[in-house]
Structure 1
Amino acid sequence: MTQSPSSRDPHPRATTLGELRASGHVQKTVKNELRDNLLDALREGRDAWPGILGFENTVLPQIERALLAQHDVVLLGERGQGKTRLLRTLATLLDEWTPVIDGSELGEHPYDPITPASIRRAAELGDDLPVSWRHRSERYSEKLATPDTSVADLVGDVDPVKVAEGRSLGDPETIHFGLVPRTHRGIVAINELPDLAERIQVSLLNVMEERDIQIRGYTVRLPLDVLLVASANPEDYTNRGRIITPLKDRFGAEIRTHYPILLTDEIAVIEQEADLTAVVPPHVLEVLARFTRLLRESPSVDQRSGVSARFAVAAAETVGAAAVHRAAVLGESDPVARPVDTQTIVDVLRGKVEFESGEEGREIEVLNHLLRRATADTARDSLGGIDLSPLVTAVEQGEPVITGDRVTAKVLLNELPDLPVIDEIAERLGATSDGERAAAVELALEGLYLARRIGKDTGDDGQTVYS
């Protein structure tokens, strides 16, 4: 979240060019600035990439080397791999405050004006040239590439209003600058770069190499100081478009991203990103993380499209919402998600998964099968070593255990006999409240059913009966 100016650290006090020179301020290019701040973070052992999970030993070392080499970067990866978040994190490596010529259109450095208007003001005012300070959050610009993006959006165009005021077409001051020049001394990020029409991509060639721009036949030589970064889905090269070869050649680094390799990273991403409205126990999050990973491995799912991390995040939020719904209907005070709630994600989120063409009509079957596998794996790993035989015997010899979205945690717990194994299950899963204990017992019951040690019936009324 971008801080408001009042909540940021106070910026330096220099208000004129003379005061800035007297303070000993040294001008740096944006790439030198990023390089120096990254090196400081590495030397001090600080986390230079807050909020980036699962890339520690793969992607981050590559992007760090690219920044140290002062290269423009393109990230290639399937949807939902955190490419945009990573690009936005680059802004945290900029200096917190940087001086600009007050009122300048492109945020030029007071030592180095580049537009005719600023050059003229600097010559007229000398050391009295007014200076203001720009926060690093204002030095990052992001553009989602869409087919209707124009050269004017990225580079600029002749402003007819300025022409109407009496300036000639050849006057550089008639130009309305686009996103790239306006991010002078900052970072320009273009998401989904292949979606840009090829003729629009051509307009970026000089920006990246010669650092000048051409508008309506007029060459405006501006020594732009920008880091250009972009994201793309590798499949876009054949589906919707491609990155033209000359532009691809100008990126110094092409880095492949990936989905979390470790299960713990997958769970951490869900915990970080999900806006949960109820308590979702760790073992329920683990089921969702395993489910997402199984989808990514399934031959029934189109792996060229990928299964986004947003799927797992949305699944956690849906499961939490199911718990809140049950609590509202049945009057529970503290909603806690239970394994029975995971069934809600199959119907709600199946549209977020792209299946292979031969799987038409089997989508629900595939999702249910993989969800059962994820639950079984979680139960086996979470409860391994606990003798669940007393619970099996109690279910076989006693009354059926009924759960579902119309059964409160207290009712579920009251259906169970007072067995030491239930306390052992709760302790293993860190369950203390009634809702958490009910969620723990449900995982054990579902694990026993999937291991074919007890039976289960699911009715149309949403009730699940273990017997």
Structure 2
Amino acid sequence: MSDRPDIFTVGELRAAGHVHKDLRHEIRDNLIAALAAGRDPWPGLFGFSRTVLPQLERALIAGHDVVLLGERGQGKTRLLRTLAGLLDEWSPVIEESELNEHPYEPITEQSRSRALTEGDRMRVAWRHRSERYVEKLATPDTSVADLIGDVDPMRVAEGRRLGDPETIHYGLVPRSNRGIIAINELPDLAERIQVSMLNVMEERDIQIRGYVLRLPLDVLVVASANPEDYTNRGRIITPLKDRFGAEIRTHYPIELDDEVSVIRQEGKLVADVPPVILEILARYTRALRQSPAINQTSGVSARFAIAGAETVAAAALRRASVRGEDQAVARIIDLETAVEVLTGKIEFESGEEGREQGILDHLLRTATAEAVRAHFQGLDMGPLVAALDGHTTVTTGDQVTAREFLENLPSLNGSSLYDKIGERLGAQNDGQRAAAVELALEGLYLARRISKESDDEETVYG
């Protein structure tokens, strides 16, 4: 963050050559400057570069209010929050102004009076761009007073006349003047509350209890919503939808790498989770989104894979703590713990009652098999299959350490297969090598080349 400008009065602001821009010109100029310089205006967003982001950039350059439509967990809120990065880092306001008015253009009666009496001596304050982005989660109990404002009975009781503008307590939208207001889950607003937004969106003024306050608000309204065929809680009324200049559909990541990047960025992992584990979780999530047994209108959120990665990491840390491992590294065996706790994050189609766990297990096996083919294709697993000759077995489990697992692997009679397996996955330590060999064993089982028996404590390949 750069230092706050050392300017304290309107006179100093004019002397410094400051030029006032309205909000839409400010966003447009900063966006175009970033694009021209090759800077990414959308840090931390994956999978939207050729679809959503070009549409959003065109909408902002055109100066449109925007509504994002998409299923849960598609990154709508994160995308809206990045809009604050398109604002000037510091912006001048009239000091103690309730509506963050620009010193050159006061809009309330009180500020205009101050401008006339104080002139160039009027005090200036500075707002950081982070203070100019306001987010409101729409809930059914949201009132007009919350968004627009209402008469303040305490000010009336002090003796002010009822028509005095100073009796008004402004809501969230007027207080967001010269900034961005984001309304999450817009259809959850009651229809009468949505009606109160119409003047703000079109005429840029507000009406409170019959007062028509001609306040030329300078605010960008952005919103998120689930598609109408999913949400049963409400809808965006037609006049309000018509006032949004752009309606943009979001989507889940199209490329596998983007899905993995989202998990890696958003997951708060308390242990080392090898890339192949994240890849399997990403493949698993994508398989769920394509399964006819899953209710696709509700979507399979990216939070599913993120929570899965965090659970897998927690299982690794728990094992390391209990068994005294130096390094906590997640392995294939830990994926089963994720499935056990994630069932509630999925909505199944009617008629699938009782089959939920079987469906999840099957899709996890499918995702694991895909990862095995992607990484071990062309690698001869014959020596490992031969070593498991019906008498020799390999035991693993969520309480088996990586060192114990590796020490109990059968000898391959001089073959370097274990090293090759580790190299394919870039293994750097015992935990990562154990994860790689476990994946190879699981792949052989899924290919029906070896057997597998599991109970609550251990899994035996043989």
Question: TM-score, structure 2 length as denominator?
Answer: 0.98
- Cα distance change of structure 1 residues 51 and 177 upon mapping to structure 2, 3 Å threshold: same
Structure 2 partner of 1:207? 200
Shift of 1:236: 6.2
Task: Report the residue type matching 1:427 in the other structure.
Answer: E
**Are residue 382 (structure 1) and residue 375 (structure 2) matched?**
yes
Distance in 2, matches of 1:367 and 1:27, equals 57
Any conservation in 2 of the 1:237–1:243 contact (CA below 8 Å)? no
Tell me the equivalent position of 1:445: 441
What's the offset of the Cα at 1:122? Answer: 0.7
Q: Quick one: which of 116, 127, 133 aligns to 1:134?
A: 127
Q: Hey, what does 1:64 align to over in structure 2?
A: 57
Residues 429, 238 of structure 1: CA spacing in aligned structure 2 closer, same or farther, 3 A cutoff? closer
Match of 1:422 in 2: 418
Q: Hey, what's the Cα distance between the residues in 1 that align with 2:400 and 2:83?
A: 48
Structure 1 contact 318–345 (Cα < 8 Å) conserved:
yes
3-state SS of 1:255 partner: strand
CA distance in structure 1 between the aligned counterparts of 2:227 and 2:139, rounded to whole angstroms: 17
Whether the 8 Å CA contact 1:396–1:454 is kept in 2: the answer is no
SS of residue matched to 1:157: strand
Matched, 1:81 2:74: yes
CA contact (8 A) 1:76 1:234 kept: yes
Kindly provide the CA deviation profile for residues 368-418 of structure 1, in whole angstroms up to 9, marking residues without a partner as x: 000000011101111111111111111225520000112111111111125
Shift, 1:300, TM fit = 0.3
Query: Which runs of structure 2 are paired with 1:28-43 in the superposition (5 Å)?
Result: 28-43=21-36
Kept in 1: contact 2:339–2:361 (CA 8 A):
yes
Which residues in structure 2 correspond to 1:192-231 (within 5 Å)? 192-231=185-224
User: Is 1:455 aligned to 2:451, yes or no?
Assistant: yes
Counterpart-to-counterpart distance in 2, 1:126 and 1:328: 68
Whether the 8 Å contact between 2:65 and 2:220 is mirrored in structure 1 is yes
- Give the TM-score normalised by the residue count of structure 1: 0.97
Alignment of 1:411 with 2:404, yes or no, is: yes
| Letter of the 1:213 counterpart | I
- 1:191-340 alignment, distance < 5 Å: 191-235=184-228, 239-340=232-333
Give the residue type in structure 1 aligned to 2:80: L
Name the counterpart of 2:17: 24
Contact 2:100 2:178 in 1 (8 A): yes
- Asked if the contact 2:183/2:224 (under 8 Å) is kept, the reply is yes
- Does residue 157 of structure 1 match 2:150? yes
8 Å Cα contact 1:193-1:231 kept in structure 2: yes
Q: What's the RMSD between the two structures over aligned residues?
A: 0.9
Aligned to 1:5: none
Runs of 4+ in 1 over 3 A off after TM superposition: 235-238
Match of 2:90 among 69, 80, 97: 97
Q: Deviations over 1:48-107 (max 9, x none)?
A: 001111101100000000000000000000000000000000000000000000111011
CA distance in 1, matches of 2:282, 2:443: 17
Aligned-residue offset at 1:329:
1.3
Cα distance in 1, alignment partners of residues 172 and 377 from structure 2 = 57
**1:372 aligned counterpart, secondary structure:** helix
Q: Is 2:431 the partner of 1:435?
A: yes
The one-letter amino acid paired with 2:92 is P
Provide closer, same or farther for how the CA distance between residues 78 and 372 of structure 1 changes in structure 2, counting only shifts above 3 A: same
Deviation at 1:12, TM superposition (A): 1.6
Q: Deviations over 1:211-231 (max 9, x none)?
A: 111101111110000000000
1:465 aligns with 2:453: no
Which among 4, 9, 15 is matched to residue 11 of structure 1? Answer: 4
Q: Deviations over 1:325-348 (max 9, x none)?
A: 111111111010001100011210
Q: 1:194·1:237 contact (CA, 8 Å) conserved in 2?
A: no
**What are the superposed Cα offsets for residues 167-186 of structure 1, whole Å, 9 maximum, x if unpaired?**
11101111000000000000
Q: Which residue is equivalent to 1:362?
A: 355
**Partner AA of 2:43 in structure 1:** P
State the alpha-carbon separation in 2 of the partners of residues 67 and 229 from structure 1.
11
Partner of 2:113: 120
8 Å CA contact retained: 2:230, 2:297: no
Residues 155 and 167, structure 2, Cα contact 8 Å, conserved in 1: yes
Unaligned runs of 5+ in 2: none
Structure 2 counterpart of 1:66, which letter? Answer: A
Counterpart residue type for residue 459 of structure 2: T
Letter in 1 for 2:458: Q
**How far does residue 237 in structure 1 lie from its aligned partner after superposition?**
6.7
| Partner Cα distance (2:285, 2:177) in 1 | 41
Q: How many residue pairs align between the two structures?
A: 459
Indicate the SS of the match to 1:396.
coil
Q: Distance in 2 between matches of 1:107 and 1:50?
A: 28
CA deviation after TM superposition for structure 1 residue 238, in Å: 5.5
CA distance in 1, matches of 2:391, 2:128: 67
Rounded to whole Å, the distance in 1 between the matches of 2:272 and 2:231 is 43
User: Which residue identity is paired with 2:312?
Assistant: V
